[in-house]
Amino acid sequence: MPELAIQTNKLSLWYGDFQALFDVDLDIKQGIITSLIGPSGCGKSTLLRSVNRINERLGYVRIKGSIEVLGQNIYDPAVELIQVRKQIGMVFQRPNPLPLSIRDNVLFGHRLHSAERGSKSAQEEILEGALRQVLLWDKVKDRLDSRATGLSLEEQQKLCIARLLPVKPAVLLMDEPCSALDPTGTEAVEELIWQLRGQYTILIVTHNMAQARRASEECIFMLLGKVIEHTPTDEMFVTPVHKETADYIEGRYG
């Protein structure tokens, strides 16, 4: 197992004529939580979305440089997009459970990616495992067949994380996963993300400085499409190297 989960080399990205990322070089370590912070429009979401190649659905996106995930360039023509999406899960700002039952939501990815369905008991095991991992099992075990969209936002977001787990992804990308939640929900989901560290490499975009500080081990500060600073979170918030970083975390802009 390589020690680095995600490596970008001179990654530049354009939306049409607008350059959103400039020569981004990053080494993101495996098994830890790395947060991406920076003011709106700094390219942090763009970067996140390049890592599982959902940007390219917009036809006008152009990319230079490479992104290697576990040592393999995911923009290599030989790479199967479906496998990229399987190995690199994504959690969105707004919880987006499918309009199916809780059970079918959790097993959705598993059913997509396994040639045969597996026995009923095997499926139940996967279901329980995933829901336990996101601390949702006790709450929903009696209503697995009710609709997922009836859950609270916090529970929905946990479910969205749970449905990524059965296919055993290498990396979890999270795009402001708590910004649609109330403070209690935020705390619960943060706690969950913290529990998942070690098992998964987690890259999380956040607007919330306190969240980055609480819930990540390394922190990347971006500004205007460039990476300014990438250090352990404790260091960044105590002794930032660059003046821009210091200004941002002290709330002088952003």
Residues that bind another protein (CB under 8 A): 52, 54, 57, 81-86, 89-90, 92, 94, 96-101, 108-109, 112-113, 147-149, 160, 163-164, 167
Smallest separation, CB 129 to another protein (Å): 17
Rounded to the nearest angstrom, the gap between the alpha carbon of residue 111 and the centroid of all alpha carbons in its chain is 22
Cβ atoms of residues 221 and 228 within 8 Å:
yes
Residue placing its CB nearer to another protein in the complex, 42 or 159:
159
Query: What is the rounded CA–CA span in Å between residue 139 and residue 98?
Result: 19
Smallest separation, CB 227 to another protein (Å): 25
Smallest separation, CB 221 to another protein (Å): 26
Q: Which residues pair with 197 in a beta bridge?
A: 200
**Among residues 198, 200, 199, 194, which one has the least CA distance to residue 171?**
200
Smallest separation, CB 106 to another protein (Å): 11
**What Cα–Cα distance (Å) separates residue 23 from each residue in 9, 26, 67, 103?**
7, 10, 12, 43
Smallest separation, CB 98 to another protein (Å): 6
Residue placing its CB nearer to another protein in the complex, 162 or 219:
162
Query: What is the rounded CA–CA span in Å between residue 198 and residue 180?
Result: 26
**Among residues 59, 147, 54, which one has the least CA distance to residue 92?**
54
Residue placing its CB nearer to another protein in the complex, 147 or 207:
147
Burial of 6 (0-12, 13-18, 19+ CB in 10 A): buried
Smallest separation, CB 228 to another protein (Å): 29
Smallest separation, CB 14 to another protein (Å): 20
Residue placing its CB nearer to another protein in the complex, 104 or 229:
104
Residue placing its CB nearer to another protein in the complex, 44 or 103:
103
Residue placing its CB nearer to another protein in the complex, 153 or 246:
153
Task: Output the CA torsion sign for 107, 113, 114, 117.
Answer: positive
Residue placing its CB nearer to another protein in the complex, 85 or 213:
85
- Dig out the tokens for 23 from the structure: 């020569």
Count of other CB atoms within 10 angstroms of residue 134? 24
